[in-house]
Structure 1
Amino acid sequence: MTDTHPSSRPMPEELIRLASADNFRDVAGTGTGYPVAGGRMRRGIFFRSNELQLTAADAGALADLGVAIIHDLRSSMEVDAHPDAEVPGATWQHVEVTGIPTEMVQGLADAGAAARVMREVYDAFVVSPAARASYARLLTDLATGPLPQLFHCTAGKDRTGWASALLLEVAGADRATILADYLLTNDVSAATRTKYLGMIEEHLGPDAVAVYEPTMVVDESYLQAAYDKVAEHYGSVDGYLREGLGLDDEVLGAIRSRLVA
């Protein structure tokens, strides 16, 4: 199993911001990294993002970080509509996870219905065999492939948010840290959310903004829906990782070794 850490490339203490991908960030947080059982998380190993519709400067910034593999969690339709920009030195891999089905959000009656759809999406991350197979592949590649690596979906909040939560779980972060990191999306991607809500207002009218806003944010109840399904079906996150995703001690140990300084 490959155990290659990036060279001692210095990482800025603050969040690296990309003008063309506002939800790009280090899975380990900022500064000295998130505290975990037995140490702190090592930064510069795994990155997360929204879709990589990058300017040349931002693609160069990812190349400067040494990103070796990009895992695209979007559907084939999403990829075809907005293919990732090429990042010099990085290999692109498609690891599809179903996001928010279009048919489920068309004609939403109210914000409550939108929130229910979002919780169903997170349920599927845990119970869908296809989603479990994709997350198993992603985590195995993160454990074994050259570093650093990046994973993303369209908004970088749901499919990507669950993957990041799992990495933080494996690293030994507490649930409060995991939730705070998950909710950070609402802050860093506020401009993108405002843009899309403006488009909804323009095409569907001002009353539609409140209806659709729950699909454009992250919420503690969404993440909790996934954890509730994990508890229901597997008893614990460890049970989900081992039984649901089929990951063994070698893979889980390699992820933790990579992430914990």
Structure 2
Amino acid sequence: MSESQQGQVGEELVRLASADNFRDVAGDGHPTTDGGRVRRGVLFRSNELQLTDADAHTLRDLGITAVYDLRGDHEVEAHPDVPVPGATWRHLPVGGIPMDRVAALQTGEESLAAMLDVYRGFVDHPGARAAFGALLTAMATTDGPQLFHCTAGKDRTGWTAAVVLALAGVPDDVVLEDYLLTNTFSTATREKYLALIAEHLGPEKVAVYEAVMVADEAYLRTAWDAVAAAYGDLRTYVVDGLGVSPADLDALIARLRD
């Protein structure tokens, strides 16, 4: 499939029936601060790939060559990805909220604090930095369209997409708007899980867990602030913090820019 054909398929693909937070990282071709656009059909993002046969073959038709799974071991074991025909699968685990901490949450404030810790960890935790560095390096050096995902496609995936778009020169307000789209795309899934929480844990627990199930500007801002505090700027975070070579970083940016 040629690049132009891949782009045409990407233009037509709006949603996957079995992965509601699947989308092109470039959106409809996000603008950059120098008047350019982010190239569509290069990188895709998603929640977990519990795919129907039809959706798996839709990804095949997009030309996906690699799938990067950012979930932890227990998440992968519980819900293994459905294979995408023609794509290699690679596991690059990044930790989220520890399950014992999730179980212990009692208030919305505790949930908010836990989420802020997760986003600081994307920058501060050595294991997270190693996984994100391996991911960016792989995306820079692997041919063809590629897809990365976690469970909800919200936090680990959302941070990766935000970093990629910022590196490509997308303005901060557009990066934030793209990040928050998860709240629109995943409305049905979020409402389903909150209903289960109300049923099994009690209606009063809905307010406790709402913060865990949304993308929030405060979360993304916490990670950006951690980058600024530890590294000064995004490029230094990617090169020094994530261990991505300057050449690979430049190659990734070049792939993303029209």
TM range (shorter): over 0.9
1:91 aligns with 2:88: yes
Query: In the alignment, is residue 221 of structure 1 matched against residue 218 of structure 2?
Result: yes
Candidates 132, 136, 141, aligned match of 2:138:
141
Contact 2:10–2:62 (Cα < 8 Å) also in 1: no
The alpha carbon displacement at 1:107 in A equals 2.5
Normalised by the size of structure 2, how large is the TM-score?
0.96
Q: Which of the residues 135, 154, 160 maps onto 1:157?
A: 154
Task: State the shift of 1:146 in Å.
Answer: 1.5
Listed as ranges, the matches of 1:225-240 within 5 Å are: 225-240=222-237
SS of 2:19's equivalent in the other structure is: coil
Aligned equivalent of 1:35: 31
Deviations 1:127-173 (A, max 9, x none): 00010000000000000002100000000000000110110011111
User: Do the aligned partners of residues 18 and 234 (structure 1) sit closer, same or farther apart at CA in structure 2, a change above 3 Å counting?
Assistant: same
Moved more, 155-164 or 99-108: 99-108
- Provide, for residues 176-232 of structure 1, a one-character-per-residue CA deviation record: whole Å limited to 9, x for no partner: 011000000000000000010011011101010011010000100001111111111
**Greater helix share, structure number:** 2
**How far apart, CA to CA, are the structure 2 residues paired with 1:37 and 1:109?**
43
Match in the other structure for 2:98? 101
Long gaps (5+) in structure 1:
none
| Aligned with residue 17 of structure 1, among 7, 15, 18 | 15
Deviation at 1:6, TM superposition (A): 5.3
CA shift, 1:12, in A, is 4.9
Q: Tell me, what secondary structure is at the counterpart of 2:221?
A: helix
Maintained 8 Å contact 2:10/2:41: no
In the TM superposition, what are the counterparts of 1:1-261 in structure 2 within 5 Å?
Answer: 7-9=3-5, 10-13=8-11, 16-30=14-28, 33-38=29-34, 39-261=36-258
CA RMSD of aligned residues (A): 1.3
Quickly say closer, same or farther: Cα 1:238–1:135, change in 2 above 3 A. Answer: same
Between the two proteins, what is the percent identity of the paired residues? Answer: 55
Residues in 1 aligned to 2:179 and 2:162: alpha-carbon distance in whole angstroms: 7
1 CA distance for matches of 2:243 and 2:203? 46
Give structure 2 stretches of 5+ with no counterpart: none
> What CA deviation, in whole Å up to 9, does each residue of 1:57-77 have, x standing for no partner?
111110110100000000111
Confirm or deny: 8 A CA contact 1:6 1:45 kept in the other structure.
no
Aligned to 1:8, the other structure's residue is in SS state: helix
Return the TM-score normalized by structure 1. Answer: 0.95
Quick check: 1:69–1:91 contact (8 Å CA) kept in 2? Answer: yes
**SS of 1:93 mapped into structure 2:** strand
